[in-house]
Amino acid sequence: MNPKYQGATPLDAQRYLNQVWARTRAALDRQGMKPYGARVVEAHHDGTPHWHLLLFIPKHQADDLITTMKHYALTSDGNEPGAEQRRFTSVVIDKSKGSAAGYIAKYISKNLDAFGIDADQNGFEAKDSAERVNAWATTWGIRQFQQFGGPPVSIWRELRRIKHLPEDHPMHHAWRAADNGEWAPFVKAMGGTHAARNTHPITLHRIWCDKPNAYDEPTGYQVTGLLCGDEPVCTRHHTWSIDFIEPGFSLEQSPDCSPLEFCQ
């Protein structure tokens, strides 16, 4: 047993990594660097989480990015044996070996359902390992996958709920990109990868709901659609509720509304 072990749980370790990443991003922002990409959290054999980050950044900023990330990774106990070699490593994507999408897809797959992967790094059945990783993440409440930078995925998802928008509608370009599953045109329609949230042309439309939840508290704000300018577009066409009636249950559905009907 490691004599330095202090009884920390995997969740404690995840919170530590989140803190390191928050400080790193703040430092990068002060230096004018705004990387975007995705993060995947994996588990070591002892349950300790470690991160894989896929970052996109202008080539001339790459060295400064690596220096800053390594600095914050080594801030705590950075002089312990092996820290310099293993605490932080960086790899430049080699296009001859595959794309960035293929790189991140591998890590998502091995931690989701192991689709397309026969065995894990230890030679065990990949599907069984993926099930164990999911159980580990659920037990400790660890978010396995996260995208950062760029427009919100929530807007993309709401756009995909809309069946049709006329070509002269201000959300048409973003909707068409989302409907076709084309992320890059969607990002451009939202102002680019570094656009501030308050400059996005499309935002979520929410309404306050006083209906109590299971804890007899107000439900709060609920997403009902999208807002482009002053004109909301309804994307949530049904409101479902579950009423338990012995021995089964029934579902009640609200009337449909047109995809272009204003949300009340």
* Separation in Å, CA 53 to CA 45, 63, 94, 142, 232: 20, 16, 16, 16, 36
Any alpha helices (H) in the chain, and if so which ranges? 10-30, 62-73, 83-86, 100-110, 126-140, 153-159, 172-179, 183-189
104 or 203, which is more confident: 203
Q: For residue 20, how many other CB atoms are within 10 A of its CB?
A: 19
Which of 36, 72, 107, 215 is flagged as catalytic?
A: 107
The whole-number pLDDT of residue 246 equals 61
Q: Give 178-198 pLDDT, tens digit per residue.
A: 999 999 999 999 999 889 889
Q: Give 29-48 pLDDT, tens digit per residue.
A: 999 999 999 999 999 888 89
**Rounded distance, CA 236 to CA 257, Å?**
9
| Per-chain mean pLDDT for the chain | 86
Q: What percent of the chain has pLDDT over 70?
A: 88
Q: pLDDT class for 245, splitting at 50, 70, 90?
A: low
Predicted TM-score of the model (pTM): 0.76
Asked whether the predicted pLDDT for residue 27 surpasses 60, the reply is yes
Which of 16, 36, 103, 215 is flagged as catalytic?
A: 103
User: Pick from 12, 5, 14, 26: which is nearest to 51 by CA?
Assistant: 14
103 is catalytic: yes
Least confident of 46-50, 107-111, 155-159, 197-201: 107-111
Asked whether the predicted pLDDT for residue 140 surpasses 60, the reply is yes
**Cα torsion for 115, 13, 26, 37, to the nearest 10°?**
0
Q: Give 70-126 pLDDT, tens digit per residue.
A: 999 999 988 988 999 989 999 988 888 888 888 888 888 888 877 777 666 666 677
254 or 227, which is more confident: 227
Q: Give 122-135 pLDDT, tens digit per residue.
A: 666 778 888 888 99
**Rounded distance, CA 139 to CA 126, Å?**
20
Give residue limits of the domains in the chain.
Answer: 10-148, 153-253
Residue pair 225/235 in contact (Cβ under 8 Å)? The answer is yes
5 is catalytic: no
